[in-house]
Amino acid sequence: MPKNKKPAPRKSAESPEQKDEAMTRQLCALSAYLAGSPAKNATTVQNEADFYKIIKKCLHQKKDDILYEALEWTRHDAMRAHVLLKETMEEVAEVVVIGREGAAATEINAFVIPLFLHTTGGLKGAQCFQDQDAYELLTRSLQEAGLESPDATVVLVNHAYQLDEIDSITFSHLHEMVRDAHAAMHDMRAATATAISRSFAEPVDEPFAEDDLAVELRFLLGFSMKSVDDKFYQAPADELAADAWYAARESRFQQWTEQVTPLVRRCFGPADRDIEVHFLYQDLFHGGKERGIAEYFMLQMMSDLNHALSEQGLEAVSTRAVVGPAEVGDEKVLRVNLYAISDAALVASSEKPLLQTADLGSELADMRDALGMIGIVTISVAQGFDEEGAPVGIAA
């Protein structure tokens, strides 16, 4: 046996940053592979298991940086992988399934109902959710109106979430909130739901004058706990029957909005406060948040265009609109240019954020409807805009 043999050099340990980057790369690679629709085989099953395992690990360890970095990488390089990654992260964060020995597993999810509230002078944070009876009746109404199963346990958070608050809730924070809600609903003696409490920001009233006509976006946030085999939530397999099932639910939701409007007014202000309430559809957390934000920016854009028309003393019918996608830095937007029909002069230009995963056809149809509502009837579509902001590739 040789003497004085030098030991093999030790490999330097990876730093935490290197480990996180390796996990990010692995997550991107797995999402790209799975998004390629490979045939179901042992490799696919294993990769899918690893994919979910990494996402769940990041949520439990509160490593949001890895999740958001992976989304950013795939957003630029692999859109199909980006869509799969985004949808999976959202689902795992907002829906938690907890197994129970000898019984069906329990699912708990986070949902939101976006609201637009019209007031004179704006909402006052100190006046929101002060009517406990109204809050309790509103919570119970979700099951009484058939929006949630009678066998579920449903709670609403007694807080008027503003856009910045709801948008600042990260994947891991939401996942923690869902688990906190499960613990509280499963055992009412459980400790305070600290993750939910952390989602409240200091109330900041919007800077409206007392006589300003204000439109504000708020979110009702709730949690629903039920058995995973609860038939109330299972849509029929047949396509026509499923369409009827969803239509019936939408009808129940519409009836519910009419019934609970007085309760919502009481939750957002004193009884003598004149508050006009407009509901958007109830959805799981991320879907409802995106719906609310999209509608908010659409209203803001229409307000900007109306203001420009008023400032220049023009009627909407005397202008034509050109709508199309544009790039502003690294962000994608949907832009509207208004031109005077008389001399083709630019009257106004406004933009709203456009998700990378958005369906452009649907976005353009929504924009056409919104422009029609303010009186603009001549609308063209551009393929894009040049560096000077002029539209290119215009079609009717």
pLDDT tens digits, residue range 290-300? Answer: 999 999 999 99
Give a yes or no: residue 240 inside a domain: yes
Q: Using alpha carbons only, how large is the chain's radius of gyration in Å?
A: 25
Alpha helix stretches (DSSP H) within the chain: 16-35, 42-60, 64-77, 79-94, 132-144, 163-167, 171-186, 194-198, 239-268, 285-311, 360-373
- Residue 146 and residue 238 in one domain: yes
Classify each residue of 244-265 as buried b or exposed e, where b means 16 or more C-beta atoms within 10 Å of its C-beta.
eeeeeeeeebeebbeebeebbb
Distance separating alpha carbons of residues 279 and 218, to the nearest angstrom: 10
Q: Are 85 and 48 in contact (CB under 8 A)?
A: no
Task: Tell how strand 153-156 and strand 378-381 pair up.
Answer: unpaired
Instruction: Give the structural domain span for 59.
Output: 16-95
Assess whether 130 and 59 both reside in one domain. no
Tell me, what's the pLDDT at 301? 92
The tens digit of pLDDT for each residue in 331-376 reads 889 999 999 999 999 999 999 988 877 788 889 999 999 999 999 9
Whether 288 is covered by a domain: the verdict is no
Q: 């004149």: which residue's tokens? A: 274
User: Is residue 357 domain-shared with residue 240, that is, in the same domain?
Assistant: no
> What's the confidence (pLDDT) of residue 196?
92
- Residues 226-247, mean pLDDT to the nearest whole number: 94
pTM for this model (two decimals): 0.89
- pLDDT class of 1 with cuts at 50, 70, 90: very low
Whether residue 108 is found in the same domain as residue 224: yes
Q: Assign 203 a pLDDT band (cuts: 50, 70, 90).
A: confident
Asked whether 372 and 392 are in contact (CB, 8 A), the reply is no
Q: Are residues 127 and 272 in the same domain?
A: yes
Tell me if 290 is assigned to some domain: no
